[in-house]
A and B are shown apart, each in its own frame.
Chain A
Amino acid sequence: MVCVQAPVVLHAEQIHKSFGEDEILAGVSIEVREGELVSIIGPSGCGKSTFLRCLNFLERPDRGRVSVLGVSIARDGGPWRRADEHAAHKLRTHVGMVFQSFNLFPHLTVLDNVLLAPRVVKGERNATMRDEAMALLEKVGLRQVADRYPVSLSGGQQQRAAIARALAMRPEIMLYDEPTSALDPIVAEEVLGVMRTLDDEGMTQIVVTHDMRFARLASDMVIYMDAGQVVEAAPPEALFVNPQDERTRRFLRTVL
């Protein structure tokens, strides 16, 4: 909260995205500074997940610009070109992502899930890589299940394994797409705990979440989205205690 002067590491400008006739994002802009934990909240269908996926180009915005640590991709409604794919690939080296449904690779052990991308993408094959992976699993509390297959893990364990897997690529920014929505509150707490630890270590994190308690207590900044637009962006105390916009107030009345 004190890092007001920290540099901007992610900047999204006027992101537009439509699926056919439906306009999902109608010009969304955010700025995230290094070390911040930003929560994006809003009603279902407001476009918050789509927006998050636009940040690492799993979803290709129709128009707008995303800049991450010097990599910038601008979209003007034209076709997705080779150079764009190239740039998106480069951008993703800085950005890790965690999904609501975990998406662990079921044919690999937990350890191999963590090791696969460094090996395939970076060609790292040395023993220290394995030690690093074990250290990551230790950090998320999964050292004991390193050799088990994802299917034998609980949901909370799977999501923590997914976080370790993303961290293995040493991203500067982590994106979470409703990381705890598939988990019961007790198990969810295991995952949120890992995210708090990462926040303490200075990781930049953007979380799409329905967990208002987490958004309020852990975030440096909360963004309220509705109908494909950012309605309000403020520090959690300001947004939760004194929302400026009527839509934000209505939403918070409903969920709190």
Chain B
Amino acid sequence: MPVCEHDGARGVSLDPHRACPAAVCATPWKAALRAVALGLVLMVWLVTAGVLPGGRAMAAEDKPAASQTVRWAADSSADVPYTFHDPADPERLTGFEYDLMQEMQRHMGVPFQFVQNDWDGLIPGLQRGLYEMVICGIEMTAEHADSIDFSDPYYVTSERLTVRRKGPQLTTLASLSGHAVGTLKDTQAAQILGRNPNVELRTYEEESDAFMDLVNGRTDAVLLDGPIAKYYGDTNPALHVVGEPIGRVEYGIAFPKGKNEALRARVNAALAAMRADGTLHRVLARWDLWTPEMVHLTGDESVLDIPPTAFNAYVAEIQGKSGWRVRLERYVGFIPQLIRAAWLTLLVSLSAMVLAVALGLVLALVRLYGPAPLAWTATCYVEIVRGTPLLIQVLLIFYGLPQCGISLTPFVAGVISLGMNYAAYEAENYRAGLQSVAFGQTEAALALNMTHAQALRYVVMPQAFRLVMPVMTNDFISLLKDSSLVSVITLTELTQTYIRLSSTYFDYFGTGLMVGLAYLLLGLPFVRLARLAERRLASPHTRRR
């Protein structure tokens, strides 16, 4: 039985064949260097991993000017009726803004490409050049105009109050005093409500959550833009829109500040043409969103005989069907999406773990055996990474690094931030493991004429590996769950899919169980595998006679 049979079980480790027979590799520091090289190779692999399924979004990003494609972004996770996933066919995007973009593409004669991004990331993504423009019901306020440029307004609406049919009928801003009122965060509606100190303001990330809380009685009213009130409030049998329109809201297409005047001019020209030839009118009529304010804005007083087909289809889809059969069919329909999302989650987690193990090993070796300045640097790294929230690290790497000229694709950014974060924990794990191997083992190896590096590689590390194995499994399971954080950088993994599905169908429970189950199923094989490996590795020398 060859000694090196054990190499296979060791996962990421130093090259087993370069044993340095001459007495050259005098210090384990050399071994650490080799591990650093290995880590670098892994990095390169990750960066070139753009071809992987999860990295599709980035392929276009690398060559913006090469083609004339205009990339536009929105948060399609729950934005009815702007851009959203059709409840009848979640694979398909729809919405009045989505339709407007299709029309504009025809008018401008260049291909448009949709880019999904989380609401909070839309403007940062625009500024770092992930796409050329954002159309997502962005209000043309003075504050927004400070950081971005707007097209001419393509839609005008006002704020509307939605209340429970069986609750207090609060029809004016003044009547809201003393009540809990919901709206979306950082909106004009939130500002209006904020002016009345007697209103108990509740702000939400997702429209569906705001209305869900209203239905459940956690709030007594919701103040939001006309289209949202119409689609979320009026379509719900328990709610209705009341009172007069409040204020004025204009939506504009957002561009990075002062960077793309040419495109902005072309978009404005296309908008003007779409107003003039009635395209805008027809699209909005289909969604039942042609309002007196729009008549006023466009001066188009014609009456088109266009039924609100898109609105009716949406209402029919969310109200018409109910019962367990329909639900069951819907859940079955989710499965392909969930599988895709689970695959991405798995891919991100596995790649991040590979990076974490490699980098963690390097950090541990440097801390234990490296020259003082490097050991100190490694210690700082571990402390800083462990002491700051992972979410911040993800955002910093994806949105912050481009400011320093390093632009990573979402997949790579996700893997690197997760991997670098877990590397800190792995490093401590390995350090403890290496230190717990008795020093007599190293001495015996040295006395057998091995170098320090060889002693580390063949005697200490194999024993340490067995000790840290159970902890590594735990870390991987929690990494699998922490990978949900990369949903903030446009990766549609399991958690992002849950948010999208649950808010499209107002079904948090069933979809929640399905996604939870998906995570569980992803983690289980690794738990079993680890237990198996542990038993196989541990038994021979820990089982006593």
Contacts of A58 in B (CB 8 A): 443, 446-447
Q: How many residues of A contact B (CB 8 A)?
A: 41
Q: From A111, A117, A152, A162, give the contact of B449 (CB < 8 A).
A: A117
Contacts of B438 in A (CB 8 A): 103
Contact A107 B466 (CB under 8 A): yes
List 18 other contacts, CB 8 Å, given A95-B447, A107-B541, A116-B448: A82-B26, A85-B27, A92-B448, A97-B447, A99-B440, A99-B444, A103-B443, A105-B463, A106-B541, A107-B462, A107-B463, A116-B458, A117-B449, A120-B454, A121-B21, A123-B19, A123-B21, A147-B1
Contact B448 A169 (CB under 8 A): yes
Contact B3 A166 (CB under 8 A): no
Q: In A25-73, which residues have CB < 8 Å from any B CB?
A: 56, 58
Chain A 79-106 interface mask (CB, 8 Å, partner B; 1/0): 0001001100110110111010101111
List A residues at the B interface (Cβ < 8 Å): 56, 58, 82, 85-86, 89-90, 92-93, 95-97, 99, 101, 103-109, 111-112, 115-117, 119-123, 125, 147, 149-152, 162, 165-166, 169
A121 vs B457: C-alpha distance when bound (angstroms): 12
Q: In B421-460, which residues have CB < 8 Å from any A CB?
A: 438, 440-441, 443-451, 454, 458-459
Contacts of A147 in B (CB 8 A): 1
A221 vs B444: C-alpha distance when bound (angstroms): 26
Q: From A82, A90, A117, give the contact of B448 (CB < 8 A).
A: A117
Q: From A56, A85, A120, A152, give the contact of B450 (CB < 8 A).
A: A120
Known: A123-B19, A123-B21, A149-B540. A93 touches B446 (CB 8 A): no
Residue of A nearest to B459 (CB): A105
Known: A101-B440, A112-B1, A123-B21. A106 touches B447 (CB 8 A): no
Does B63 interact with chain A (Cβ within 8 Å)? no
Contact A92 B541 (CB under 8 A): no
Contacts of A101 in B (CB 8 A): 440
Residue of B nearest to A104 (CB): B444
Q: In B135-183, which residues have CB < 8 Å from any A CB?
A: none
Contact A151 B542 (CB under 8 A): yes
Size range of the chain B interface in the assembly: 20 to 34
30 contacts between A and B (CB under 8 A): A85-B27, A89-B23, A89-B26, A90-B23, A93-B449, A96-B448, A99-B444, A103-B441, A104-B444, A105-B441, A105-B445, A105-B463, A109-B1, A109-B540, A112-B3, A116-B458, A116-B459, A117-B448, A117-B450, A119-B19, A120-B19, A121-B448, A121-B454, A123-B19, A147-B1, A149-B541, A151-B543, A152-B544, A152-B545, A162-B444
A107 vs B396: C-alpha distance when bound (angstroms): 43
Contacts of B443 in A (CB 8 A): 58, 99, 103
Contacts of A96 in B (CB 8 A): 447-448
A49 vs B462: C-alpha distance when bound (angstroms): 29
Contact A106 B454 (CB under 8 A): no
Does B92 interact with chain A (Cβ within 8 Å)? no
Does B6 interact with chain A (Cβ within 8 Å)? yes
A166 vs B26: C-alpha distance when bound (angstroms): 21
Shortest Cβ-Cβ A-B pairs, 4 listed: A89-B23, A103-B444, A117-B448, A97-B447
Contacts of A107 in B (CB 8 A): 6, 462-463, 466, 540-541
Contacts of B444 in A (CB 8 A): 97, 99, 103-105, 162
A30 vs B2: C-alpha distance when bound (angstroms): 41
A92 vs B26: C-alpha distance when bound (angstroms): 13
- Chain A nearest CB, measured from B17 CB (Å): 10
- Chain A nearest CB, measured from B198 CB (Å): 71
Contacts of B454 in A (CB 8 A): 120-121
A149 vs B6: C-alpha distance when bound (angstroms): 14
